[in-house]
Structure 1
Amino acid sequence: MTTAATLIPELDDIVRRGDPKRRADAARRISELFLQGAASFRADHVDLFDGVLTSLVPHAELAARANLAERLSLLANAPRGLVGQLAHEDEIAIAGPLLRRSSVIDEPTLIEIAQAKGQGHLLAMTERPALSSGLTDVMVLRGNRDVVRGAASNAGAAFSSDGYSTLIKRAGQDGVLTLKVGQRDDLSAEQLKDLLSGSIDVIRRRLFEVVKPARQMAIKRAMNEISGIADRVESSRDFAPAQRTVLALHSAGELNESALLGFAKSHKYEESIAALSAMTGVKIATLDRLITGDRYDPILIAGKAVNLEWATVRALILLRLGPNRVASPADIENARVNFARLMPSTAERVVGFWKTRPLA
């Protein structure tokens, strides 16, 4: 460290006994010296700078540390100790640039930071060119919506089997995440089927529109497996008598929510679907296919679009299950919460989509 000693003859004294202001000034000068000569320094030179700077840089002002972190993030031979020190800082303006792109930070350090720090640190890591499955395991467990979406969007990210399971589970409540996961090249056929099983029809259709042709074929196969048939067949139910009943109620001015609730509580499936069709304007065949699917979301959407009370929506969910099946209290409560959160404008848009583009 003769160069540094020449630049700052009193360096030893500053490191040992200097006041914060002198240390900050020394940190600035030595950092600049390192950055100017980094391309020509040998590994032992870098280690010497590392030892000095890790003692001095913490005394520098935030702006100076952030600027240093930004510049170090681009260097393949940046001092490891200093980089690790800065990457652990709580201030994301300092840690962020290094977490996004520094090649000097090893995987154990990244995982340690991901487990201990906040969402800003996790989000910064999602921008790295590659993410190990060990790191994404932490991200999908600890990360908020933006973090998980960022990880799923990263083509260089790897996910373990457990990580993918968690990712797909979270996608069940996040349509944007479903679209991002569904476009990943490393998604297996079985994982695609799990993803589609947990998504509502409008998201499935949107995913089909944005993926590559090869993935479109995979989506078609997965949907056939989910429905349990090789080709879609028409419902075997006869809705004609139910339609006549509903038409008579409509003519008498008695087709209302109370009538729908009565049909649902009496487990009159055809009459319930015919009544809901008349109230929403969606074709009976379309509603039948939606409601007999794997999820109760279409009931929530249709109910919110025509301003049904929760009691009626709940009765329709139980009707969907059939008289010999009992819904778990947790499932019913989850449905109630989702129904309360669903915006009427969103439900109306989806119902409008069902009207103009009925299921094939």
Structure 2
Amino acid sequence: MAANPTAARTAKPAVQDATDASELASDILGKTTSLFMAGPRPHAAEQLDLYDSIFARLTAQVGADKLAELSTALASVERAPYATARQLAVHGDVRVAAPMLAKAAVLTERDLAEIIKTGSQAHLVAIAVRKQVTEKLTDLLIARGFPAVRMALVQNLTARFSEDGYRSLFKSAERDEELAEKLGQRTDLPAKLSRAFVAAASDAARAKFIKSAPLAAKATLQATPTRSPGAALRATWDYSQIKTEVAALNRTGKLGDAAVNRYVATGDFPAVIASLALLADVAIEVIEALMDDHRIDDLLVACKGSRLSWATTSMVMRGRPGCAPVPAEDLEEYRKRFDKLSLSEAQWKTRHGMK
């Protein structure tokens, strides 16, 4: 039978049907969004569930531009439909996700933590500018290692940081002048870490940090020495003979906590450093750099990664030549951190996170 030419002319291509459906969905989505935004505040739970169901059907049929408009609208609402907000927040297109990640109050700390673990740098920057970012979230954000995320966090004056978080930021800022400048402008910096940073940072980063610091802190920071007596002493040490000795102990299985304890007790810190370097599988220069006051936290990690006991670790920390005594209250805090730190985490940080 011959084809009907009239039917062929009037039939709509499948692509046209899809386009029409998308345009219809976009129109309905816009009207539904307007209805939601104009409705009572807050919406009842049943209403939110209903909107979630409607949005779920419509968002599957529209493009990223329309989803971004929806995300921007819902992000400003204190109680947005949760499932929809979550769906938009994890969207791969940052234009869609960013409004939700930056503002949506309906997203929980757990939601944001999950997104941080897998999100792109752009997604994480959106989270970093949220109001009142918690210590748990800032720790996770910093751990991802994105420079733009660190910068966004430092400039977010409502973000809160743990001591470990600040320690990581200071470490990054030692060679990053712009980050050092922005970090110096914060008023909640731990004084001890600020002084340690000034002692360790590059000349340019140190200058930027001090210049931007609050007036009350400038004098103290400017007076902080940049080279410790301990560093000057270590520059005279020769490790050639002791490296041979600790290597022999290691081959016979006798290099461990007891051997390091003996070295500390006799004040033989070149041997302590060489032993820790071998036990942690890093260069002597890495361990040597941890013996200053501003690196004592890293030294604790290296001791844990070398399988030392707390008793020996505390002896190492207290016995460092040319360094200030460790206050008893600080030592107790270090003990808690030591007990909390896992061996695998300490080994990874020592081998890959120190310089």
TM-score, reference length from structure 1: 0.56
Following superposition, the deviation at residue 79 of structure 1 comes to 1.1
Question: Which amino acid in structure 2 is aligned with residue 73 of structure 1?
Answer: A
* Corresponding position: 1:324 with 2:238: yes
Following superposition, the deviation at residue 21 of structure 1 comes to 6.2
Match of 1:89 in 2: 91
Partner SS state of residue 89, structure 1:
coil
Match of 2:39 in 1: 37
Give the direction of change, closer, same or farther, for the CA distance of 1:143–1:36 in structure 2 (3 Å limit): farther
Distance in 1, Cα, partners of 2:193 & 2:42: 49
Question: Which amino acid in structure 2 is aligned with residue 55 of structure 1?
Answer: R
1:6-155 to structure 2, matched below 5 A, reads 23-39=25-41, 41-155=43-157
Question: Which amino acid in structure 2 is aligned with residue 123 of structure 1?
Answer: V
Distance in 2, Cα, partners of 1:112 & 1:96: 15
Deviations 1:167-190 (A, max 9, x none): 222122312212222332221121
Distance in 2, Cα, partners of 1:115 & 1:157: 18
Distance in 1, Cα, partners of 2:284 & 2:25: 60
Give the direction of change, closer, same or farther, for the CA distance of 1:94–1:115 in structure 2 (3 Å limit): same
Contact 2:134 2:160 in 1 (8 A): yes
Give the direction of change, closer, same or farther, for the CA distance of 1:226–1:132 in structure 2 (3 Å limit): farther
Contact 2:116 2:124 in 1 (8 A): yes
Following superposition, the deviation at residue 58 of structure 1 comes to 2.5
Following superposition, the deviation at residue 116 of structure 1 comes to 1.1
Following superposition, the deviation at residue 39 of structure 1 comes to 3.6
Distance in 2, Cα, partners of 1:66 & 1:38: 23
Partner SS state of residue 60, structure 2:
helix
Distance in 1, Cα, partners of 2:232 & 2:53: 63
Distance in 1, Cα, partners of 2:210 & 2:36: 52
1:187-336 to structure 2, matched below 5 A, reads 187-220=189-222, 223-224=224-225, 227=228, 321-322=235-236, 324=238
Give the direction of change, closer, same or farther, for the CA distance of 1:40–1:193 in structure 2 (3 Å limit): closer
TM-score, reference length from structure 2: 0.57
Contact 1:99 1:125 in 2 (8 A): yes
Contact 1:115 1:138 in 2 (8 A): yes
Distance in 2, Cα, partners of 1:146 & 1:132: 18
Question: Which amino acid in structure 2 is aligned with residue 321 of structure 1?
Answer: A
Distance in 1, Cα, partners of 2:135 & 2:116: 13
Deviations 1:291-318 (A, max 9, x none): x889xxxxxxxxxxxxxxxxxxxxxxxx
Deviations 1:8-31 (A, max 9, x none): xxxxxxxxxxx7665555434322
Give the direction of change, closer, same or farther, for the CA distance of 1:203–1:172 in structure 2 (3 Å limit): closer
Match of 1:241 in 2: none
Give the direction of change, closer, same or farther, for the CA distance of 1:43–1:226 in structure 2 (3 Å limit): farther
Distance in 1, Cα, partners of 2:42 & 2:210: 52
* Consecutive unaligned residues in structure 2, runs of 5 or more: 1-20, 241-273, 287-355
Match of 1:255 in 2: none
Q: Where do 4+ consecutive residues of structure 1 move more than 4 Å? A: 19-25, 224-229, 325-333
Contact 1:28 1:60 in 2 (8 A): no
* Consecutive unaligned residues in structure 1, runs of 5 or more: 1-18, 230-291, 295-319, 334-360
Question: Which amino acid in structure 2 is aligned with residue 324 of structure 1?
Answer: D
Distance in 2, Cα, partners of 1:170 & 1:293: 24
Partner SS state of residue 149, structure 1:
helix
Distance in 1, Cα, partners of 2:139 & 2:237: 41
Partner SS state of residue 59, structure 1:
coil
Distance in 2, Cα, partners of 1:191 & 1:92: 35
Question: Which amino acid in structure 2 is aligned with residue 98 of structure 1?
Answer: M
- Aligned alpha-carbon RMSD (Å): 3.2
1:173-184 to structure 2, matched below 5 A, reads 173-184=175-186
Distance in 2, Cα, partners of 1:39 & 1:72: 13
Following superposition, the deviation at residue 66 of structure 1 comes to 0.6
Deviations 1:299-353 (A, max 9, x none): xxxxxxxxxxxxxxxxxxxxx93463689996889xxxxxxxxxxxxxxxxxxxx
Following superposition, the deviation at residue 47 of structure 1 comes to 2.5
Aligned length: 228
